[in-house]
């Protein structure tokens, strides 16, 4: 590679970078990031009398400890470790070394990221703003928003729905999710009506419920653009809105209103209930509301009379 670097990695690092470029088509910025991570590790290994390709487990553990002592964020440290893991996997595949010392390393603990979601008022604002878009877009935006928020679908599931998915007066919707697994989700009356209005106004035939150009399914990019425009009309920062945020909103609002995790797991199509448990961030708020509403000493309620 012809890129300039402050630390020169060894020849095996060069071979690894060339493989990333040739076989995986890695972008220039990706290659530069890998090069910097490998160069830093190579310098650390050399200071301990080893090469990057010949470093032992103790050197790798010392390198990880050093990242932590430098105060490097866990996410950044995990990215660097990922680069070093891939480098060692490459060395084993190429028979440059017989073992992979990174296999025994623990990844830095990443902070748990809570799902981003809209408030109920913000979702209502978007549902109110959607019909005010230009007619064809208004019909698509309204139907998509109603379906997403009523059922918690993934965007891939929504855009893959065939035109025949919505039977007349159907109260449930059959969805094909990840891994081809099917599940049944409820369909609200508003969602049914919005989808029917969209189909009734469509002039060209097509196989998809949400149709894009040339009779093909609406693309994710096309749908994301519609959502951003509706968000602007609703006075919401478009950067906060995406199909996945609406899915998170559905789940968060359901849990806040009393849904149990097992039911939510089935509705969302999660294979493992541990995935659904990310939404338990809602529970403290819900419990606080329950106490404020029902506790006899909650603010605004008269104190109970004491006997005796």
Active site residues: 154, 178, 244, 247, 270, 279
Question: Phi and psi (nearest 5°) for 131?
Answer: -65, -15
CA distance 226 to 221: 9
CA distance 148 to 188: 11
- Give counts: helices (H), strands (E), the chain: 13, 2
Instruction: Give the contacts of 37 (CB within 8 A, at least 6 positions apart).
Output: 79, 80, 83, 84
Instruction: Give the contacts of 207 (CB within 8 A, at least 6 positions apart).
Output: 162, 163, 215
Both tokens of 261, joined, read: 């995790």
Q: Which helix (H) or strand (E) holds 181?
A: none
Q: How is residue 219 annotated by DSSP?
A: P
CA distance 228 to 237: 8
């Amino acid at each position: 590679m012809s890129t300039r670097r402050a630390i020169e990695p060894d020849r095996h690092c060069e071979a690894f970078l060339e493989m990333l470029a040739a076989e995986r088509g890695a972008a220039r910025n990706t290659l530069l990031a890998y090069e910097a991570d490998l160069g830093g590790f190579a310098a650390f290994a050399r200071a301990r009398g080893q090469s990057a390709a010949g470093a032992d487990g103790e050197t790798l553990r010392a390198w990880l400890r050093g990242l932590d002592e430098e105060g490097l964020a866990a996410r950044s440290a995990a990215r660097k470790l990922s680069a070093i893991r891939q480098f060692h996997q490459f060395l084993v595949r190429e028979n440059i070394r017989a073992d992979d010392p990174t296999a025994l390393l623990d990844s830095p603990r990443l902070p748990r990221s809570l799902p981003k979601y809209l408030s109920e008022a913000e979702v209502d604002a978007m549902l109110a703003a959607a019909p005010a878009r230009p007619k064809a877009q208004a019909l698509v935006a309204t139907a998509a928003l109603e379906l997403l928020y009523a059922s918690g679908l993934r965007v891939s599931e929504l855009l893959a729905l065939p035109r025949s998915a919505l039977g007349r007066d159907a109260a449930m919707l059959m969805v094909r999710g990840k891994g081809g697994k099917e599940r049944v989700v409820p369909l609200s009356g508003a969602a049914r009506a919005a989808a029917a209005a969209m189909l009734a106004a469509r002039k060209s035939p097509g196989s998809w419920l949400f149709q894009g150009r040339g009779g093909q399914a609406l693309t994710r990019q096309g749908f994301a653009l519609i959502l951003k425009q509706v968000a602007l009309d609703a006075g919401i920062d478009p950067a906060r809105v995406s199909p996945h945020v609406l899915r998170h909103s559905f789940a968060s609002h359901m849990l806040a209103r009393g849904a149990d995790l097992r039911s939510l797991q089935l509705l969302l199509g999660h294979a493992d209930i541990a995935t659904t448990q990310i939404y338990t961030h809602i529970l403290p708020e819900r419990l606080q509301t329950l106490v404020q509403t029902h506790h006899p000493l909650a603010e605004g309620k008269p104190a109970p009379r004491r006997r005796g």
